Amino acid sequence: MSDLRKRFEAAVMPNYGVPPVALARGEGCRVWDTDGNAYLDLIGGIAVSSLGHAHPALVAAVTAQVGTLAHTSNLFVHEPGVRLAERLLQLLDTDGRVFFVNSGAEANEAAYKLIRRRAGQDRTYVVAADGSFHGRTMGALALTGKASIREPFGPFGADVRFVPYGSVDALREAVTGECAAVFLEPTQGEGGVVPAPEGYLAAARRICDETGAALVLDEIQSGIGRTGVWFQHQREGIRPDVITLAKGLGGGLPIGACVGFGTYGTAFGKGDHGSTFGGNPVSCAAALAVLDTIDKDGLLDHVTTVGELLADGIAAAGHPLLAGVRGSGLWRAIVLTEPKSAEVEAAARDAGFLVNAIKPDVIRLAPPLIITPDEVVSFTAALPEILRKA
């Protein structure tokens, strides 16, 4: 493993540092490093590996498609792309339209261009939330409410006004008739798995309706069953104007989507936006396999049940370093009383569990949606000793 990490350091740009583990293969919810050590994967490729690793349905779909038609560009139509767009619109219960991309940042870039195109020149700014994360490309980064990663790359060609996440009063004050859109995550992912307060998204919908601003929901991490429903906003009983998806949609294959509801679905004209690889047949086939498997195997109910088991097990750990647990479904944050998340991540890894130290006092868990109760209990039973070692 050390040899591969040295080669990585010598050949790859240093923005990731050198990751501590070199992975060789995976099966189900487990992965193995190049030295043969096994780990229970509780990160899931950052909420990406919906069906775990080497899932037969995903392998079969990708194998069949790559052996038939792997790439067409956007100059031609293909069946998997049309079927996937139709399926997403059906799950979202909208008459809108879908634009496919390769990643979450690209989905948010498309959403930003879409609302600019729809809003016209009289609406000059957008509103986003402190602590938000929408991507690292320049448009998505301009929308990201984390100064530490945004400010080194400014100035941006966008007027973005940030408000405290969860404050209805601040949102109402910030959104006027000159506001083009409000960008929000139903749960702030990179911010530490912070759910919106009850009623906040509904209030955001009302404020946008009153002012004519678009409501854009970034469900890149929260979508595709992660919280126990197809899309987290559905639990709130609201409809956005635009939604962005990625991560879990492809189960490991690179795909994202920007979905415009109603008239927002037709705001782009011919030539307004594009992507050479976006919505390629292989990634679309993978996404269809993910959606079919979630539906066929009843994974939404499974996520809810096993997610509660995970949360309850964490809460029962009873260690002074544990402040609490938050989140929903299989998207949880272990909140610490001290800035020891790096130590907890290392201790968990030594014990055979991969977790993510997302903030100095927060550990993120986003395991595959297929994780079993026994696998969850194996982690929660080990957690007290992990915390003790940290």
- Catalytic residue numbers read 133, 218, 247
Taking CA 175 as the corner, what is the angle to CA 174 and CA 176, rounded to the nearest 5 degrees?
115
Please state, as a whole number, how many other Cβ atoms lie within 10 Å of the Cβ of residue 383. 24
Per DSSP, the three-state class of 358 is strand
Cα of 263 vs its chain's centroid, Å: 25
The DSSP code sequence of 42-58 is SSHHHHT-TT-BS-HHH
Residues 232, 82: contact at Cβ < 8 Å? Answer: no
- CB burial of residue 152 (10 Å; 0-12, 13-18, 19+): exposed
Residue 300 C-alpha from the chain's centroid? 16
Q: Are strands 242-245 and 362-365 parallel, antiparallel or unpaired?
A: unpaired
C-alpha separations of 274 from 118, 144, 218, 343 in Å: 17, 23, 20, 43
Q: What are phi and psi of 13, to 5 degrees?
A: -55, 150
Q: What is the 3-state secondary structure (H, E, C) of 200-219?
A: HHHHHHHHHHHHCCEEEEEC
